[in-house]
Amino acid sequence: MTEPKWRRPPLFGRVRHVHMVGIGGIGMSSIAEILLLRGFRVTGSDLKRSEITDRLEQLGATVYEGHRPEHIEGADVVVYSSAVRPQDNPETLEALRRRIPLIPRAEMLGELMRMKLGIGVAGTHGKTTTTSMVGLVVAEGGFDPTIIVGGKVTAFDSNAVAGEGDLIVIEADEYDRTFLRLTPTWAVVTSIEAEHLDIYRDLDDLLEAFRQFASSVPFFGAAILCLDDPNVQALMGKLDRRIRTYGLARQAEVRAENVRFEGFGSSFEVMVEGVSLGEMHLQVPGLHNVRNALAAVTVGLELDIPFARIRAGLERFTGVRRRFERLGEVQGILVIDDYAHHPTEIRVTLEAATTAMPDRRLVAVFQPHLYSRTRDFQEAFARAFVDADVLVVTEIYGAREAPIPGVSGALIADLARRFGHRDVHYVPELTQLPRYLQEHVLRPGDAVLFLGAGDIWRAARALLETLPHWAWPKSQSISPSHAAS
Is 245 assigned to a binding site? no
Is 125 assigned to a binding site? yes
- For residues 361 and 353, what is the distance between their CA atoms, to the nearest angstrom? 10
Is 129 assigned to a binding site? yes
Catalytic-labelled residue, pool 171, 174, 253, 345: 171
Active site residue 128: yes
Catalytic-labelled residue, pool 128, 178, 344, 349: 128
Catalytic-labelled residue, pool 53, 94, 127, 131: 127
Is 221 assigned to a binding site? no
Is 5 assigned to a binding site? no
Is 123 assigned to a binding site? yes
Active site residue 171: yes
Is 313 assigned to a binding site? no
Active site residue 354: no
Are 401 and 412 in contact by the 8 Å Cβ rule? The answer is: no
Binding site, by residue number, is 123-129
Binding annotation for ATP: 123-129
Enumerate the active-site residues: 127-128, 171
